[in-house]
Structure 1
């Protein structure tokens, strides 16, 4: 983003530069977690979508991923071959199959991310209570801004 600053002649607020760095490191961390699990980034992202959603059909997962059913079926097969997901027949309608993250996959991902989450929590816990509140409010605001921006980007892609 330094090139963008040079091109526009604007200097971003230090907090904005820090957020840009955070976004970049989040992407790099995601790639490294995927690598550690011997997954490609697309498969890892699908795994995280499944972890957040709970059991879903392949069609619903395809919709969440913005992928075709055929692509998603192949992706689920790869994840299943690694033992990261399982297919479960619906008890109400035996024709319907749901895909769910296995508990061993959840543990593997948790083991990879927990050191960072624990360290961040310890850092925030060490702050005075009023600073914790400010940090929490700021992060909630940034989360909301990111969600709004993502929605606007998604809406632009539809046009």
Structure 2
């Protein structure tokens, strides 16, 4: 281990790596490529999005986003919905079945984590929750700074 970094920082980096591997395996179970899964995940997390907003989230062109949505629709994971206020506007939404399949794949981890956390004293639970909140904020800040930098 790097002597400059606290073991918690190293563990967090390992957690990020495992999260990437888990994301890849969930995509495989859904028979999706990673890009399509990331689009589906964005729709499940955020709710209906316009194709343009989904493309921005993914960093994809309009043509690529259209192709992704088409593949998700073909698998029954997404649907296009016309806005009730303005029929010209179309939103893309994850289907309930898609959200349920993702939840089914992730629920064992969520349940095991919840079960373990509840075995700890309240002060340790609070410390873990506080640390994870800080880690989330740091990760969001880092992501923002990376996205603001010019690429070489």
Deviation at residue 12 of structure 1 after TM alignment: 2.7
For residues 140 and 38 of structure 2, what CA distance do their matches in structure 1 show? 17
When normalised by structure 1's length, the TM-score is 0.91
- Specify the alignment match of 1:131 in structure 2: 124
Match of 2:114 among 97, 109, 121: 121
For residues 55 and 21 of structure 1, what CA distance do their matches in structure 2 show? 32
- Specify the alignment match of 1:67 in structure 2: 60
Deviation at residue 157 of structure 1 after TM alignment: 3.5
Which aligned pairs between 1:1-159 and structure 2 lie closer than 5 A? 5=2, 10-157=3-150
Cα RMSD (Å) of the superposition?
1.4
For residues 79 and 93 of structure 1, what CA distance do their matches in structure 2 show? 24
Q: List structure 1 segments (4+ residues) > 6 angstroms apart after TM superposition.
A: none
Structure 1 residues 127 and 85, CA, compared in 2 at 3 Å: closer, same or farther?
same
For residues 127 and 12 of structure 1, what CA distance do their matches in structure 2 show? 26
CA displacement 1:42-67 (0-9 Å, x = unmatched): 00001111112211111111112111
SS at the partner of 1:123? helix
In the alignment, structure 2 segments of 5+ residues that lack a partner are none
Identify the range of structure 1 (55-64 vs 78-87) with the bigger mean alpha-carbon deviation. 55-64
When normalised by structure 2's length, the TM-score is 0.95
In the alignment, structure 1 segments of 5+ residues that lack a partner are none
Q: How many residues align?
A: 152
